[in-house]
Structure 1
Amino acid sequence: MHLSAMLDGVVRSAGRKEALVYRDRRWTYREFDEAVRRAATLLREAGLGPGDRLAVMTHNTPAFLFAAFGAWLAGATLVPVNHKLQTAEVTDQLLHCGARLAVVDQEIGERATTAGADVRWLVSHPDAPADEAPEGSFEALLAGASPWRGGPGPDTDIAQILYTSGTSGRPKGCVHTHRGIALTATYTAATVPLRRDERFLVCMPIWHASPLNNWALGTLLLGGTVVLQREYEPRTMLETVERERITAVFGAPVAFIAPVQTVPDFDAHDLSSVRSWIYGAGPMDAGTVRRLMKAYGSRRFHQVYGMSEMGPVGASLSPDEQVEKAGSIGRGGMVGVDLRVVTADGTDAAAGDTGEIWLRSDTRMVGYLDDEAATEAAFEAGWYRSGDLGRVDEDGFVTIVDRLKDMIITGGENVASQEVEGALLAHPDVVDAAVVGRPHPQWGETVVAVVVPREGAAPGLEEIRAWLEPRLARYKIPRELVLSDALPRTPSGKITKHVLRARLAGGS
């Protein structure tokens, strides 16, 4: 199950078929394979050896995929790097993973190449015409390299180190094998399902685990076509779907909500080719799902749930469950995945109970890079402890109510911060909100709301409490309110609640 060997099989069976599209440029599988083989030679000549780590920090461009498959063919490990990271963050990840060679987009090169790590940088110019790539660029070196003729390593080789988003502290590197990633792509393709004639639009950042392993690799290893949108933008997404006759798209819920809200001529775009609108990274309520189904003229919405530690795989909510079970992640695991909801006493949750979501699959990571303690804490008897708290309904569907570490215990009562945040966000003067616990000598913790108000507004604590009283039990209502200009977030947009807790503890 080496990823390079799997690509070889697709090239033999679908060599003339279109594999990759980027703007006005197209590659058949044979052309894609040749670019990958040239990349393997280029990377080896640049000093990348078997077992070494290649960092790739680009937008959604061909260089990312050429470098990834080239590294795998050469026996090396891919380390996708978030292109939104600042120099100090890039330095931290490069030093942690031990990369000595990296590929970076020219546009973001300065942030990366000034990082304090001993790394050789190959700079990509993805939008330069094929015959006008600057001398010394990744593309120019690629064109001049001879195709690699060696074979891939065994399927036990490490394929990827995927860094987590760091919502609870420093990002951790999830170490994955070729076999695990290949099964991630396979299980995803079987769950949705994807087809050999798929034309999949990758518009979310490809360095994220899901756009890369679920969708780009899931499509390529089936023999479908991957269409790269350099960076998400609502109108561009619609135009690309129409022009390229896209059959499937993945995004966060906002990726599908934003075009409806911000593109005035939304209805003028022909989106009829799409068979699957796939969303993840958060649920949608029934009202939102109905509005999107009407706007997009399709009931083919899928929700997927997973995390980097698992490939990512997890659970899914199918199109016929979207409205009736809105907000749920589904019932049981997706293809190839076992899912349990485990209560505090170690038993499986019954209807109405809340517990931690545990997952088991042969896609799971080997462990966290150089962190045995965190690896040991993440697993129990072969099950990955997700840290997500889920409530089971009478039909067995699971709804996430909070992160385990974000659950606030006040006066012996459990308060799910996400539930309170949802009620706060419905207030007309609240733009953004986070809820955390502050240690309290009497109650254990007290509920604190950190709110970003609408411009020109300054809601007070009593106003907020009055708004929440008919919506929440009294013990869930915040006793403190902090107004803020913005909430601290990771580069992928998740709130870093450990930073908020530290600020509150420091009084800032």
Structure 2
Amino acid sequence: MHLSALLDSAVRSGRDQEAVVYREQRWTYGEFAAAARRAATVLHEAGLRPGDRLAVMTHNTPAFLFAAFGAWYAGAVLVPVNHKLQTAEVARQLAHCGARLAVVDAEVGERATAADPGVRWLVSHPDAAPEQRPADSFESLVAAAAPWSGEPGPDTDTAQVLYTSGTSGTPKGCVHTHRGIALTATYTAAAIPLRRDERFLVCMPIWHASPLNNWTLGTLLLGATVVLQREYEPRGMLEAIQRERVTALFGAPIALIAPVQSVPDFASYDLSSVRSWIYGAGPLDADTVRRLMAAYGSDQFHQVYGMSETGPVGASLSPAEQVAKAGAIGRGGMPGVDLRVVRPDGTDAGAGESGEIWLRSDTRMVGYLDDEAATAKAFAGDWYRSGDLGRIDADGFVTVVDRIKDVIITGGENVASQEVEGALRGHPDVLDVAVVGRPHPQWGETVVAVVVAREGSALDTAAVRAWLEPRIARYKVPREVVLRDQLPRTPSGKVTKHVLRAELTSPATGA
């Protein structure tokens, strides 16, 4: 299915159903599709042609959706851009994807427009009243345009270039077709499952793969309602849930943990409308799951696992499995996905064994943009090689042990950083943690824990070691603890461990 046809189908089945909510603004499906068709005209008149790439750099605002569907109606390719990027980073991404037209939020406009003088920027003012917007603002142009009347191309055309999180270095552009993204939305809706009366809160950055393809498009596919939170903030998330009677939402684990820890009157919010608390980009241990279930008054937690290269789709862990199989990503793939754990020799690993997680789905990317070598390395036939090290238990559930490149080798022993992180998260004074290896002249690497501590605590290396020694093998216990106010993360919530490693490059000298 072409993504413009996805929206047209929702209009035919529920023209007057509420499609998008943003603060006090609301659009029915009929109104939303009409605005998207007018956006297509605006983009075409600004020079966008079929196959061209449109960069969109906004917060979670209606302009993002109007621009995305406008591009798809006009036969062009959407390139979502991280609104937190600095000018030089924006310039590199624009140069790499070849975009000559872009839509940008006025709040970040100066950083963006300075990136490339050859790019034409249409500036969005989502929070201004219509009479206060500049005449050339994206919203003003869309309001005045005639609707697009062209027909979409085949669903094998390119729909998106999605840039990876860059957790291990320079982001790469994943090229996806309309058919692949439509299937991503379909498989996701079936896996959770989502319902037609859903009111889904999109509070994670919409330009990221999962908030966009899994949750925004999965919700629109069903003709349900997307509630946009401009930018994630713990209290704002609670307020949006209560005000809009949200039924489902997605976030990184920290997005669910932070409101409980940082909002003093958390218990005063009415969150009873939520029937699906969905998290991804990392696991939750059993104790944390129990605490969240108690705090939110619900046992309906779902974990999802996937990556930009696959849509993202992958695996899911149901509410009934959250405690008993805490830390696992699921048993096999979600609907529409094959999942294997593969030994180095290419054979399937058995119970109790570890190997690389491979995924196969019709949602997979065509390849990395202009990078044949990286594309060839990422695939083994139809299988995408995730780079994640997984372990299978006796029941067939798969746990991500670590990124293969994040395994720390110290004194000839392999240490899975995620195992150490999971043990440390149980410490009452640890708010956040990442474990990385520091080069060491004798040991090869030594284990370092970078910790965000609860205010007023007395955490130090000795205290952390004392906590961990009864819980994990001594060779896994960090020899050093570094205290930080916060960890470097991508907007999807993943810790950028390569940044931490770069900051810890000076070899340790202690034993």
- TM-score between both structures, scaled by the size of structure 1: 0.94
Match of 1:310? 310
Tell me if the contact between 1:430 and 1:451 (Cα under 8 Å) persists in the aligned partners: no
Contact 2:124 2:139 in 1 (8 A): yes
C-alpha contact 2:204 2:492 (8 A) present in aligned 1: no
Deviations along 1:190-210, one digit per CA (max 9) or x if unpaired, are 111111111111111101111
Matched residue, 1:20: 20
Residue 477 in structure 1 maps to residue 493 in structure 2: no
Specify the alignment match of 2:335 in structure 1: 335
**Displacement of 1:424:** 4.5
Amino acid at match of 1:288: T
The 1:56–1:326 alpha-carbon spacing in structure 2 relative to 1, beyond 3 Å, is same
Measure the CA separation in 2 of the matches of 1:81 and 1:142. Answer: 21
Residue 147 of structure 1, CA deviation: 0.5
CA distance in 2, matches of 1:484, 1:191: 37
Separation in 2 of the partners of 1:329 and 1:68? 31
Aligned to 2:224: 224
Distance 1:258 1:84 in 2: 20
SS of equivalent to 1:182 = helix
Unaligned runs of 5+ in 1: none
Pairwise CA distance, 1:185: 0.1
Gaps of 5+ in 2: none
AA of the residue aligned to 2:366: V
Count of residues paired in the alignment: 507
Counting only pairs closer than 5 Å after superposition, residues 448-459 of structure 1 correspond to structure 2 as 448-452=447-451, 454=453
2: CA distance between counterparts of 1:73 and 1:288? 44
d(CA) in 2 for partners of 1:374, 1:44: 33
Summarize deviations over 1:191-249 as a string: whole Å, max 9, x none: 11111111111111101111110111011111111111111122222222222222111
Partner of 2:377: 377
Structure 1: how far apart are the matches of 2:234 and 2:479? 39
What CA distance in whole angstroms lies between the structure 1 residues aligned with 2:501 and 2:262?
35
Alignment partners' CA distance in 2, 1:13 and 1:278: 27
1:17-56 equivalent positions in 2, closer than 5 A: 17-56=17-56
What residue number does 2:175 align with?
A: 175
SS of corresponding position for 1:345: coil
SS of corresponding position for 1:495 = coil
Name the SS for the 1:437 alignment partner.
strand
* Structure 1 contact 94–117 (Cα < 8 Å) conserved: no
What code does the residue aligned with 2:149 have? Answer: R
Kindly tell me: are residues 431 and 303 of structure 1, through their superposed partners in 2, closer, same or farther at Cα, counting changes over 3 Å?
A: closer
CA distance, structure 2, for counterparts of residue 261 and residue 413 of structure 1: 36
Q: Does 1:395 align with 2:395?
A: yes
Specify the alignment match of 1:98 in structure 2: 98
Q: Is the 8 A contact 1:446 1:478 kept in 2?
A: no
The separation in 1 between residues aligned to 2:307 and 2:427, in whole angstroms, is: 31
CA-to-aligned-CA distance 1:442-483 (integer Å, 9 cap, x gap)? 55x222315346578886656654443323223223455656
The whole-number CA distance in structure 2 between the counterparts of 1:457 and 1:298 is 30
Range with greater deviation from structure 2 (91-100 or 5-14): 5-14
* Counterpart Cα distance in 2 of 1:351 and 1:497: 29
Alpha-carbon displacement from aligned partner over 1:28-63 (angstroms, at most 9, x marks no partner): 111111100100000000011111101111111100
Structure 1 residues 462, 204: CA separation in 2 closer, same or farther (over 3 Å shift)?
closer
CA contact (8 A) 1:56 1:103 kept: yes
Determine if contact 1:197/1:225 at 8 Å carries over to the other structure.
Answer: yes
CA distance, structure 1, for counterparts of residue 437 and residue 298 of structure 2? 41
User: 1:81 and 2:81 equivalent?
Assistant: yes
> Quick one: distance in 1 between partners of 2:198 and 2:491?
30
What percent identity do the matched residue pairs reach? 78
Task: Please give the alpha-carbon distance, in whole angstroms, between the structure 2 residues aligned to 1:439 and 1:235.
Answer: 41
Q: Which residue of 1 aligns with 2:71?
A: 71
CA distance in 1, matches of 2:74, 2:418: 45
Aligned to 1:301: 301
Per mean C-alpha deviation after superposition, the further-off stretch among 372-381 and 234-243 is 234-243
- Displacement of 1:485 in angstroms is 6.6
2:151 aligns with 151
Q: Who is 2:252 aligned against?
A: 252
Deviation of 1:99 (Å)? 0.7
8 Å contact kept, 2:184–2:213: yes
Residue identity opposite 1:242 in structure 2 = Q
**CA distance in structure 2 between the aligned counterparts of 1:126 and 1:409, rounded to whole angstroms:** 50
Shift of 1:6: 2.0
Q: CA contact under 8 A between 2:287 and 2:426: conserved in structure 1? A: no
Distance 1:275 1:429, change over 3 A: closer
Taking structure 1 as reference, are residues 301 and 483 closer, same or farther at Cα in structure 2, changes over 3 Å only? closer
Query: Are residue 119 (structure 1) and residue 125 (structure 2) matched?
Result: no
Q: Which amino acid aligns with 1:408?
A: I
Residues 360 and 245 of structure 1: CA distance in aligned 2, closer, same or farther (over 3 Å): same
Question: Aligned residue for 1:446?
Answer: 445
Do residues 468 (structure 1) and 472 (structure 2) align?
Answer: no
Contact 2:62 2:126 in 1 (8 A): yes
Give the C-alpha shift of residue 488 in structure 1.
Answer: 4.4
Q: How does 1:281-300 map to 2 (within 5 A)?
A: 281-300=281-300
How far has the Cα of 1:350 moved from its partner? 1.6
**Residue 254 to residue 385, structure 1, CA distance change in 2 (3 Å):** same
The residue identity in structure 2 corresponding to 1:287 is: D
Kept in 1, the 8 Å contact 2:203–2:230? The answer is yes
SS state at 1:329 partner:
strand
Q: Measured at CA, do residues 286 and 499 of structure 1 come closer, stay the same or move farther in structure 2, by a change above 3 Å?
A: closer
Cα deviation digits, residues 105-147 of structure 1 (max 9, x gap): 1111111111135211111000112343222100111111110
Equivalents in 1 of 2:314, 2:333: separation in Å? 6
CA contact (8 A) 2:197 2:224 kept: yes
Q: Distance in 2 between matches of 1:267 and 1:175?
A: 43
TM-score by length of 2: 0.93
Q: Distance in 2 between matches of 1:377 and 1:475?
A: 33
Q: Output the amino acid matched with 1:52.
A: D
Q: Report the alpha carbon displacement of residue 496 of structure 1 after superposing the two structures with TM.
A: 2.9
- Number of the residue aligned with 2:352: 352
Q: Residues 247 and 424 from structure 1, CA distance in 2 versus in 1: closer, same or farther, beyond 3 angstroms?
A: closer
Comparing 122-131 with 451-460, which one deviates more in the overlay?
A: 451-460
Cα distance 1:23–1:384, how it changes in 2: closer, same or farther (>3 A)?
A: same
Q: Is the 8 A contact 1:450 1:484 kept in 2?
A: no
Amino acid at match of 1:12: R
Tell me, yes or no, if the aligned pair for 1:277 and 1:301 is still in contact at 8 Å: yes
Q: Secondary structure at the match of 1:20?
A: strand
Contact map agreement 1:446 1:479 (CA 8 A) in 2? no
